[in-house]
Homo-oligomer: A and B are copies of this chain.
Amino acid sequence: MREWEHNIRNVEPYIPGEQPKSVGVIKLNTNENPYPPSPKAELAARDFNFDRLKLYPDPNASQLVHGLAKYYQVLDNQVFVGVGSDDVLSICFLTFFNSDKPVLFPDISYSFYPVWANMYQIPYCEIPVDKDFHIVAKDYYRENGGIIFPNPNAPTSLYMGLDEVENIVKNNQESVVIVDEAYIDFGGQSAISLIDTYENLLVVQTYSKSRSMAGMRIGYAIGSQRLIEAMQAVKFSINSYTMNITSLVYGSAVLEDEEYFQECVEKIIATRERTKRELAELGFTFLDSKTNFLFAQHKKIHADALFEELKKKNIYVRYFNRPKIDNYLRITIGTDEQMNKLFAALKEIINED
């Protein structure tokens, strides 16, 4: 090892789901939306003057911030935007979790949380979910340096009622509590309604799931002015201009198309409920999803084997080889047509078994 290699940060990175490049793959592995984004994005792009690319984007991303503030009926200074919710969450860890006490998050949860904690040398404690994979609010009533959890949780797909979320916040007013709501639009109630009551509550959402814009990398946080200004100070200590001009333009444009948004979300919910019935008939059990994915296991065939067999048939789902969940598949809800192909493939695999 050369001398300079000793100074290299040693980290264990998060591994995202595969992004297969071959055509014809049915991609149900990264919880993307199967429908295109609102046509307003393309319309905005048509009016775009490419001459504009030569200038830096607005470092405050005001257009997008203002659009989101209007959409959620909050103030502009209660909104923070970043390059996907991963960027936003990473900045949250850096900004809020500077304590010797452990940050708390569920043991079965977004597997990026421990990665950020390790990256920024933040102590943490993983709180076990109960035997049915539920987050138990009262387990979070203990000393901590901050709290973060997804609601609905991933990969479990389970939603916790807003009253329980509020209980966690109410019982932790000495900590910043972050609710990671990537999947909230598929059937949950957002904690954004609580931000004026609890100055220590931050809600994080994304364009990658319900808004069909994973390709644009847009995430945002909504919370009290004090929390947002603290995140801004950290953001401006890392990169002045994070949101490029196209993300500002497309991101703002689609907020103007609520009808299209609701339509897509409803279609996905309908397909999800149908998928539950179909999978049940095929011998699967699953948790009561309020997301755009199901967390399912088969009564006979191991998840690992199903994962491999589906892949051979060009259908990608997600499998986590981790304690407690290593016999589950996380299956994104695609179009009805895609799901029909999944059901057919599963039938073949199950019958061959």
Q: Is the CB of A50 within 8 A of B45?
A: yes
Q: Which chain A residues numbered 152 to 176 have a C-beta less than 8 Å away from chain B?
A: 173-176
Q: Are B53 and A212 in contact (CB under 8 A)?
A: yes
Decide yes or no whether A281 CB sits under 8 A from chain B.
no
Once the chains bind, are B83 and A54 in contact (CB under 8 Å)?
no
Chain B residues with CB below 8 A from A21, complex form: 58
In the complex, what residues of B have CB within 8 A of residue A146's CB? 4, 7
- A217 proximity list for chain B (CB < 8 A): 57, 241-244
Which chain A residues in 216-273 approach chain B with CB under 8 Å? 216-217, 226, 230, 232-247, 250
Interface segment, A35-43, A72-80, A132-140, A345-353?
A35-43
Chain B, residue nearest A238 (CB): B90
The residues of B that contact A41 with a CB separation of less than 8 Å are 50, 53
Scoring A12, A30, A54, A232 by chain B CB atoms within 10 A of each residue's CB, the highest score goes to A54
| A 20-59 contacts with B by CB, 8 A | 21, 27, 30, 32-37, 39, 41-42, 45, 48, 50-59
Q: Is the interface of A mostly helix, strand, loop or mixed?
A: loop
What are 26 A-B pairs at a CB distance below 8 A?
A2-B174, A4-B175, A7-B98, A7-B146, A8-B96, A9-B230, A11-B237, A13-B232, A13-B234, A13-B237, A14-B236, A14-B240, A32-B54, A32-B56, A37-B53, A45-B50, A53-B215, A55-B214, A83-B83, A83-B239, A84-B239, A84-B241, A86-B240, A86-B241, A119-B237, A214-B241
Given A2-B199, A4-B96, A41-B53, 6 more pairs with CB closer than 8 A: A16-B56, A16-B241, A36-B51, A55-B214, A87-B239, A216-B246
